[in-house]
Amino acid sequence: MADAIQRAIFLELYPTITKIRYAELASTMIILFDHLLTLDQEVRLIWSAQWSLGKILFLINRYYALCVVVYLYVNRHSIVMGPTLTECSCLHWFRWQGWTGIITFVIAELILQLRLYALYFRSKRVLAVTNIVCLAAAIGSSYVMGHALSLIVAFAIQLPNTGSTVCVPIGLPDGFYQFWIPMLISECVLCGLALYRGFRSYRPTENLLQSGRRIIETLVRDSVWYFVVIFATYLTNAIIFLTRGGAEVEIPIGFAVALSTVMSSRLCLNVRGYIRDESVSDALPGPASAVYSPRAGNTQNAFVSFPGEDRDDATRSNPVSKVVQSGDALGEIEMRELRSMRASSPGPRSILRMPFSIGRRSPCLDEVIHIT
């Protein structure tokens, strides 16, 4: 009787089982291929970097997801492990698979929160808002997932002519699609904060070095791309969960985990790569000079002169250097910024009134370096 029931279930669900196996294979290949493409960047930008919260989150996000998808694929397709599956082990399997989706979402959101924290110069208000939104999303999705897992019934179906066994969930609730709604809301809020910060960086009152503005552009651009990809993925999952029932909900889950992991890793690698390129690039030659004392902790006078529009002949015949108070020595990025400003300003030499403290690095760049 049991064999007849299993055979009837298998004949009914065979097309769905095939789709699930191919979808899991595709999501696994996405993560493996991304690892191969970015392994050199990871070695260069992550392994040699100092330990920080951003580095820890990157490694957890990258290698936990890799272990998950590899284990899922091996466990689904292995002839050795397949026959050992029972209904009880299948139920544990679905519980672990469901909570893994929550874990990968939380890790990705923490990475985005760090970026926003840096973009807003360690604003406690922004940090509080993002924490509340992400915590509410995690709690809401966890509640829906826990309710669904408490209702499902798992079947272990042995595939004919292969000797392997697959797990099939039965009895998923109709409201299971609500699992994705808190995640979609959280992504919209974080993307909105990133876009708002990007628009603010172009206001006249924002006194940012070009390096600071470029790092903001990089962070905002990557955040928007992440939002577009992840929002489309989560929305697709929600639609399938709403319109399809039973085992078919497993088809898109692997893509949600894979794309979230890949995009989060790319966020970290892109910003670290930008900072590394800015730090090691050669300084541009130019006659602009800044004289300063390398002693830290003391106030130094930086004497800077640039070409510009002279106000009178006296200034033209007798150029004067402007003394700017600063607390630290100019870095390589700041020196290059000053030289590029000189090169873009044709005309005789005169005083340049700096709208920023030249002895300090761009605040946004500092935040990104120390936080991410």
**DSSP codes of every residue in 217-247:** HHHHHHHHHHHHHHHHHHHHHHHHHHH--GG
Q: How far apart are CA 154 and CA 222, in angstroms?
A: 40
Inter-CA distances, 179 with 40, 67, 143, 172, 200, Å: 36, 24, 8, 12, 34
The gap from C-alpha 167 to its chain's centroid, in whole angstroms, comes to 32
Which segments of the chain have a pLDDT < 50?
79-82, 207, 282-328, 330, 348-367, 369
Strands 290-291 and 300-304: antiparallel
Q: How far apart are CA 317 and CA 120, in angstroms?
A: 45
Q: Which residue type does 257 have? A: V
Instruction: Determine the pLDDT at residue 359.
Output: 38
Burial class (CB in 10 A: 0-12, 13-18, 19+), 313: exposed
Phi and psi for 166 in degrees, rounded to 5? -120, 155
Instruction: Determine the pLDDT at residue 358.
Output: 38
Instruction: Determine the pLDDT at residue 2.
Output: 56
Phi and psi for 349 in degrees, rounded to 5? -80, 135
Look at the chain and count its residues: 372
Q: How far apart are CA 88 and CA 206, in angstroms?
A: 60
Q: pLDDT for 155-212, tens place per residue?
A: 777 776 666 677 778 888 889 999 999 999 999 999 999 888 888 776 655 545 555 5
Strands 322-326 and 290-291: unpaired
Expressed in angstroms, the distance from the first to the final Cα of the chain is 59
Asked if residues 323 and 289 have their Cβ atoms less than 8 Å apart, the reply is no
Inter-CA distances, 50 with 46, 54, 55, 62, 369, Å: 8, 10, 8, 18, 10
Q: How far apart are CA 372 and CA 367, in angstroms?
A: 8
Inter-CA distances, 7 with 17, 156, 222, 284, Å: 13, 11, 49, 73
Q: In the chain, how many H helices and how many E strands? A: 10, 7
Asked if residues 166 and 153 have their Cβ atoms less than 8 Å apart, the reply is no
Instruction: Determine the pLDDT at residue 42.
Output: 93
